[in-house]
């Protein structure tokens, strides 16, 4: 009997999709299948040795033809398409897939907000099962396109053992980042992009008057807003307290350097891999109270509220102050609960169980608002 084979398709390996696809492949492997991974574009850094890169940045027809050629000598039992672009190409090339069922994973909100996409789904996407990385994303899929009856939640998995093995001790992480061992550190991991709201993170840090005078705000990541954040920090007189580590290949290994992770993304955030990584590392988390991140953290995050006509930075600062003033015992209860939540719901083992359900067609379909 041949070993079942799964094809995983993703437009590119931009962070976090290199590690994310690796984790999906590892979860699938736990079900006893062989996994092939295809990226449309070329590698952005060191390539994943076992993945295939088409090296095609543009051209839907070129991608369809390339995928057909790739699939021709292979027989697949399941195809997992990450993001809309992969779904679009896979469904147009499905004649080469020998009838393999297709799962399309939405990693962001708004996959079918556009009317044209809904119309194309009716033409080319019949029989495809759709998944959202979080319950709010799955619910929105159903609200925007009620015809997507077979919609479920397929969270982004995380390799617990690998991250635990790679994480640096607190003193080593601080040495490598150039952070004084005695400083109270608020860490931010992610692109310096408007979606991640690094300027709000800085404003909240500045307004958190109960933090120790030597407190530092450390950004791991890079992006188009770095200059604006640096300029604001200097203008507000906290330039010496704000540090930019830039983009690091494995940011999660430095989490022990932080006293708290600040996750400032707003309602556009569908999930949040940095949240899972901090939960595993037992680092307290301050986070905006918005649907995507709340679906990851559950009841044990320290949330600040969005204020439509008020000062969100002040709300954020109040929670940073509260976090800094909490006792180790109070933090322990929360961080232990968060660690258990990752292992229970987002580990490779947990996501492998969802994939087993896919093979048996036994995955529950979440309804909007459920």
pLDDT at 165: 96
pLDDT at 46 over 70: yes
More reliable by pLDDT, 23 or 127? 23
pLDDT at 307 over 80: no
Average pLDDT of every residue of the chain = 93
pLDDT at 96 over 70: yes
**Contact criterion met (CB below 8 Å) for 353 and 122:** no
Is there a common fold for 5-157+347-359 and 160-345? yes
Per-residue confidence at 287, pLDDT binned at 50, 70, 90?
A: very high
**Contact criterion met (CB below 8 Å) for 301 and 283:** no
Per the document, the length of the chain is 370
pLDDT at 308 over 80: no
Torsion of CA 362, 368, 369, 370, to 10 degrees: -10
Per-residue confidence at 367, pLDDT binned at 50, 70, 90?
A: very low
Average pLDDT over residues 348-370: 70
pLDDT at 103 over 50: yes
**Contact criterion met (CB below 8 Å) for 191 and 223:** yes
Which residues make Cβ contacts (< 8 Å) with residue 238, sequence separation at least 6? 202, 205, 206, 217
Average pLDDT over residues 305-334: 90
Pairing of strands 34-39, 5-10: parallel
- Among 8, 30, 12, residue whose Cα is nearest residue 160: 30
Residue 92 to residue 95: CA distance in whole angstroms? 8
Residue 125 to residue 235: CA distance in whole angstroms? 52
What are the pLDDT digits (tens) for 354-364? Answer: 999 887 765 44
- Is the bond leading into 51 cis (omega within 30 degrees of zero)? no
Which helix (DSSP H) or strand (DSSP E) does residue 258 occupy? none
Residues paired with 9 in a beta bridge: 38, 81
* Range 5-157+347-359: architecture per CATH: 3-Layer(aba) Sandwich (3.40)
Average pLDDT over residues 145-170: 93
Residue 354 to residue 364: CA distance in whole angstroms? 10
pLDDT at 269: 95
Residues paired with 221 in a beta bridge: 246
What are the pLDDT digits (tens) for 106-149? Answer: 999 999 999 999 999 988 888 899 999 999 999 999 999 988 87
Average pLDDT over residues 255-278: 96
pLDDT at 369: 37
What are the pLDDT digits (tens) for 197-229? Answer: 999 999 999 999 999 989 999 999 999 999 999
What is the DSSP secondary-structure string of 187-202? Answer: EEES-SSGGG-HHHHH
Q: Which fold has domain 160-345?
A: Rossmann fold (3.40.50)
Residue 141 to residue 109: CA distance in whole angstroms? 8
Distances from the Cα of 127 to the Cα of 5, 124, 133, 254, angstroms:
19, 9, 20, 43
More reliable by pLDDT, 221 or 249? 221
Average pLDDT over residues 188-193: 94
Average pLDDT over residues 265-274: 94
pLDDT at 370 over 50: no
Residue 308 to residue 304: CA distance in whole angstroms? 13
Which helix (DSSP H) or strand (DSSP E) does residue 301 occupy? none
Domain ranges of the chain: 5-157+347-359, 160-345
Per-residue confidence at 163, pLDDT binned at 50, 70, 90?
A: very high
Per-residue confidence at 1, pLDDT binned at 50, 70, 90?
A: low
- Tabulate helix, strand, coil % of the chain (nearest 5): 45, 15, 40
């Amino acid at each position: 009997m041949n070993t079942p084979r799964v094809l995983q398709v993703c437009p590119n390996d931009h962070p976090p999709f290199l590690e994310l696809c690796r984790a999906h492949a590892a979860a699938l492997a736990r079900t006893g299948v062989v996994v092939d991974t295809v990226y449309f574009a070329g590698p952005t850094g060191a390539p994943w040795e076992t993945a295939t890169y088409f090296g095609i940045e543009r051209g839907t027809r070129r991608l369809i033809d390339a995928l057909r050629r790739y699939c021709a000598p292979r027989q697949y039992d399941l195809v997992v398409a990450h993001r809309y672009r992969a779904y679009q190409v896979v469904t147009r090339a499905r004649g080469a897939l020998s009838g393999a069922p297709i799962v399309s994973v939405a990693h962001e909100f708004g996959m079918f907000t556009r009317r044209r996409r809904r119309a194309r789904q009716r033409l080319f996407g019949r029989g495809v099962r759709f998944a959202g990385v979080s319950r709010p994303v799955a619910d929105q899929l159903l609200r925007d396109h009620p015809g997507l009856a077979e919609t479920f939640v397929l969270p982004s998995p995380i390799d617990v053992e690998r991250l635990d093995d790679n994480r640096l001790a607190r003193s080593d992480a601080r040495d490598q980042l150039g952070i004084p061992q005695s400083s109270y550190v608020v860490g931010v991991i992610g692109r310096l992009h408007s979606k991640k709201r690094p300027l709000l993170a800085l404003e909240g840090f500045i307004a958190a008057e109960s933090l120790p005078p030597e407190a530092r705000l450390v950004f791991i990541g890079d992006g188009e807003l770095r200059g604006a954040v640096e300029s604001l920090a200097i203008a507000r007189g906290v330039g010496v307290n704000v540090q930019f580590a830039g983009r690091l290949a494995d940011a999660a290994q430095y989490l022990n350097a932080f006293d708290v992770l600040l996750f400032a993304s707003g309602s556009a955030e569908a999930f949040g891999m940095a949240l899972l990584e901090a939960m595993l590392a037992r680092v307290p988390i301050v986070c905006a109270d918005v649907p995507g991140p709340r679906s990851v953290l559950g009841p044990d995050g320290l949330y600040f509220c969005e204020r439509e006509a008020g000062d969100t930075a002040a709300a954020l600062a109040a929670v940073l102050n509260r976090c800094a003033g909490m006792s180790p015992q109070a933090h322990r209860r929360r961080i232990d609960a968060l660690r258990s939540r990752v292992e229970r719901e987002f580990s490779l083992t947990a996501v492998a169980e969802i994939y087993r359900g896919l093979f048996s067609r036994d995955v529950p379909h979440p309804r909007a608002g459920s």
